[in-house]
């Protein structure tokens, strides 16, 4: 919970500053991404999955480059407050409804790699989980 609050503080701090860039330094292209799901107090909740995906300039500008990749109901919710600098990207997720889920995401970026996590609260299920992603550029998109 403290980590989630700390990450939320990072998002708030970035939102409060006027010095955020529209796009991270990450170069568009074909990326191999390792995706891991973690649940508190559960060791090896799921085996890591490796996906290959094409990241376009539009994906980087909108934040969709760093969005949820796992099978997760938050995948269908809104990405809000996306902020990017040369070395980081942050956003939050908010779902509609009475038992709405939410999330805070923080990613570090270089020109050809990114790594970060999405800390999720599943709303009415009173469950938290995180998705970590580690991506590296492997070439140009087909």
Residue 22: pLDDT band (50, 70, 90) is: low
- Give the model confidence (pLDDT) of 124-139 as tens digits: 777 789 999 999 999 9
- Give the model confidence (pLDDT) of 95-120 as tens digits: 988 888 899 999 999 999 999 999 99
CA-CA-CA-CA torsion for 71, 116, 100, 23, nearest 10 degrees? -110
CA distance 15 to 81: 7
CA-CA-CA-CA torsion for 105, 111, 115, 119, nearest 10 degrees? 0
Which whole-number Å values give the CA distances from 135 to 2, 4, 28, 64, 86, in the listed order? 26, 22, 12, 14, 16
Residue 42: pLDDT band (50, 70, 90) is: confident
């Amino acid at each position: 919970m403290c980590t989630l609050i700390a990450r939320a503080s990072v998002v708030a701090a970035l939102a409060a500053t006027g010095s955020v860039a529209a796009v991270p330094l990450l170069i568009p292209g074909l990326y191999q991404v390792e995706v891991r799901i973690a649940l508190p107090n559960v060791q090896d909740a799921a085996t890591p999955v490796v996906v290959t995906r094409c990241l376009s300039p539009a994906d980087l500008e909108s934040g969709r480059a760093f969005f949820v990749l796992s099978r997760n109901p938050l995948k269908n919710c809104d990405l809000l407050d996306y902020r990017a600098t040369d070395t980081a990207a942050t956003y939050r997720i908010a779902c509609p409804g009475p038992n709405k889920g939410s999330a805070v995401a923080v990613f570090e970026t270089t020109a050809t790699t990114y790594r970060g996590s999405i800390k999720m609260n599943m709303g009415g299920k009173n469950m938290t989980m995180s998705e970590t992603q580690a991506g590296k550029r492997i070439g140009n998109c087909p």
